[in-house]
Amino acid sequence: MIVEKEPVAKTLPARYYTDPVVFSEELKRFYSEMWVCVGRTNHIPAAGDYFLREVAGESLIVVRDARDTIRTFFNVCRHRGTRICPVPEGKFAGHIQCGYHGWKYGLDGRLIGAPHMHESFCREEYPLHEVSTEVWDEHIFINMAQQSKPLLAQLADLPQKFSHWRMGELTPYHRISYDVKANWKLIVLNYNECLHCPVLHPALNAISDYRSGNNDQPNDSYIGGSMEFRSGAETMSMDGKLCGAYLPGLTGEERTMVYYYAIYPNLFLSLHPDYMMTHILFPRAVDRTEVICEWHFDPAEISKPDFKGDGAVRFWDETNRQDWSIVELSQAGIGSRAYTPGPYSRSENLLQAFDKMILGTPC
């Protein structure tokens, strides 16, 4: 009997991970023309609070204005172009002032002071350049495209899908920033398969069986799915036990799973029965990515004396570091002249869908 050979999907050619020209095209397509997650609103709880983000090579100021609106501005003075704010985060005292000649901008970006300019100078013509900013469940998204579609159009059904976690009510407990020496897409690929879990993450595999995964049909906005806990385990933490109470809105079934979603282009949402973990990716070079990981809990639980959030932080920090070291080795191997695209297994279907999204072919 002749068995017909099944066509095999393969990984992308090396240039997608090593060529600076491909990298700058991706920054334009995915990081300048899509909605990109830059953080959470509770990072800047009061008027004047701000943080800087570098997105697609641009330094951006994300600030809460006097009317409680989250706004984003290019960090570029309208006088002679100087980067206005060099400090990564902090609080503006009611206005944003350039350190060169002292031009002053309101928290809403209006130019309110321009020393030495002539009398007929029209300040209204020189506000800070603003970037579209929208918020979903306290996740802040920005879009640098001249004309962007609404954030909701990019998020598809996610707002309804994750409403039970009430993400808007969660508060950050811990943040770690990682400098990963790998292309951003390798980090997305690694997040979306657990075939590596028994080899690389024995502690994770002891809590959640890598074969228990159940993936959603991939679409243009995200890829992801759920994994179940092994018997006796309740959440992802050092001892597998809850860090606090279950999140209040979850169904019985949702309490037995972790939901892992990569929301294009740069947000990973890992929804646990008792907390939310987020990763946001900021590509810095074709072979370097900054990853900011945060753990968010119900504030009522954090204030309890028996709260055990550190168990979740340690568990995932160790897992993250295992992941970063393996993607760095992937980057190193793909950079070799010996690398040729390799075959995907059927279980790596989310990875194939992501590659198709990168190539611009329908999933």
Residues that bind Fe ion (CB under 5 A): 323
Task: Report, in Å, the least distance between residue 80 CB and ligand FES.
Answer: 4
Helices 349-359 & 184-191 angle (0-180, nearest 10): 150
**Between 84 and 247, CB nearer to ligand FES:** 84
Q: Which DSSP category does 343 fall into?
A: B
Q: Which of 10, 25, 68, 100 binds ligand FES (CB under 6 A)?
A: 100
**Between 98 and 223, CB nearer to ligand FES:** 98
Q: Does 110 bind ligand FES (CB under 6 A)?
A: no
Number of H helices and number of E strands within the chain? 10, 17
Task: Report, in Å, the least distance between residue 260 CB and Fe ion.
Answer: 10
**Between 101 and 123, CB nearer to ligand FES:** 101
Q: Which DSSP category does 135 fall into?
A: E
Amino acid type, 298: D
Task: Report, in Å, the least distance between residue 247 CB and Fe ion.
Answer: 23
Number of neighbouring beta carbons within 10 Å of residue 188: 25
SS3 317: helix
**Between 323 and 348, CB nearer to Fe ion:** 323
Cite the beta strand spans of the chain per DSSP E: 36-40, 49-55, 58-64, 70-74, 89-91, 95-97, 104-106, 111-113, 130-136, 139-143, 171-180, 214-215, 222-228, 257-263, 267-271, 276-285, 288-297
Task: Report, in Å, the least distance between residue 349 CB and Fe ion.
Answer: 17
SS3 301: helix
Instruction: Please enumerate in sequence order all residues whose Cβ is within 8 A of that of 298, keeping only pairs 6 or more positions apart, or say none.
Output: 169, 170, 171, 244, 245, 247, 248, 274, 275
Instruction: Find the part of the chain contacting ligand FES (CB under 6 A) among 85-93, 95-103, 126-134, 340-348.
Output: 95-103
Residue count, binding to ligand FES (CB under 6 A) = 9
Q: Does 314 bind ligand FES (CB under 6 A)?
A: no
CB 312 within 8 A of CB 237: yes
121 is in the binding site of which of Fe ion, ligand FES, none (Cβ under 5 to 8 A by kind)?
A: none
Cα angle for residues 304, 308, 38 (degrees, 5° grid): 95
**Between 57 and 102, CB nearer to ligand FES:** 102
Range 25-84, binding ligand FES (CB under 6 A) = 77, 79-80, 82
CB 137 within 8 A of CB 168: yes
Task: Report, in Å, the least distance between residue 128 CB and ligand FES.
Answer: 11
Instruction: Please enumerate in sequence order all residues whose Cβ is within 8 A of that of 228, keeping only pairs 6 or more positions apart, or say none.
Output: 208, 209, 212, 256, 257
Q: Does 230 bind ligand FES (CB under 6 A)?
A: no
Q: Does 121 bind ligand FES (CB under 6 A)?
A: no
284 is in the binding site of which of Fe ion, ligand FES, none (Cβ under 5 to 8 A by kind)?
A: none
**Between 302 and 326, CB nearer to Fe ion:** 326
323 is in the binding site of which of Fe ion, ligand FES, none (Cβ under 5 to 8 A by kind)?
A: Fe ion
Interface positions with ligand FES (CB under 6 A): 77, 79-80, 82, 98, 100-103
